[in-house]
């Protein structure tokens, strides 16, 4: 069965390239342009993994993360956080809130693909 990845990112061009890259890897990709939309889509579409930007309009990545971790239904959702903030306290704050992986911008597509594969258990072989 095809695994589904949701990209929550407000930069359309980044969404477009990530969608292309992840689709080529065989994932079914959807996207949200703000934090509130991301929460709604996670609940409606129940994706297998979430690529979550930190600086999102309406609800920040931190807020989305907090809500998802507080909800029994979404507590275990694998989340890769993307951020322009690369400082150690940002990473620490995200880890404290229960993020599974953390990458700073700009990143290589291959690294994003590798992280998503790892979170979904596709990296064994």
Among 1, 2, 13, 26, binds other proteins (CB under 8 A): 13
Query: CA-based angle 23:43:7, to the nearest 5?
Result: 30
Measured from the CB atom, the residue of 2 and 13 that comes closer to other proteins is: 13
Among 26, 88, 106, 124, binds other proteins (CB under 8 A): 106
Neighbours of 31 (CB within 10 A): 20
Provide the minimum distance between the beta carbon of 21 and other proteins in the complex, in angstroms, as a whole number. Answer: 7
d(CA 85, CA 78): 21
Answer yes or no: are the C-beta atoms of 35 and 60 closer than 8 Å: yes
Measured from the CB atom, the residue of 1 and 110 that comes closer to other proteins is: 110
Which residues, 33 to 62, sit near other proteins by CB under 8 A?
55
- What DSSP string runs through 23-78? HHTT-EEEEESSHHHHHHHHHHH--SEEEEESS-SSS-HHHHHHHHHHSTTTTT--
Measured from the CB atom, the residue of 14 and 41 that comes closer to other proteins is: 14
Under the criterion CB under 8 A, does residue 23 sit at the interface with other proteins? no
Q: In this chain, which stretch among 9-17, 35-43, 88-96, 115-123 interacts with other proteins, using CB under 8 A?
A: 9-17
* Residues at the interface with other proteins (CB under 8 A): 11, 13-14, 16-18, 20-21, 24, 55, 84, 105-110
């Amino acid at each position: 069965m095809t695994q589904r990845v949701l990209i929550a990112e407000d930069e359309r061009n980044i969404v477009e390239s990530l969608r292309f890259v992840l689709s080529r890897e065989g994932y079914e990709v959807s996207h949200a342009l703000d934090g509130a939309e991301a929460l709604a889509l996670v609940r409606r579409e129940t994706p297998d993994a979430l690529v979550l930007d930190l600086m999102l309009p309406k609800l920040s990545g931190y807020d989305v993360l907090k809500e998802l971790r507080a909800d029994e239904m979404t507590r275990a959702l694998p989340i890769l956080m993307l951020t322009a903030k690369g400082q150690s306290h940002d990473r620490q704050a995200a880890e404290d809130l229960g993020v599974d992986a953390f990458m700073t911008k700009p990143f290589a597509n291959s690294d994003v693909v590798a992280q998503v594969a790892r979170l979904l258990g596709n990296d064994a072989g």
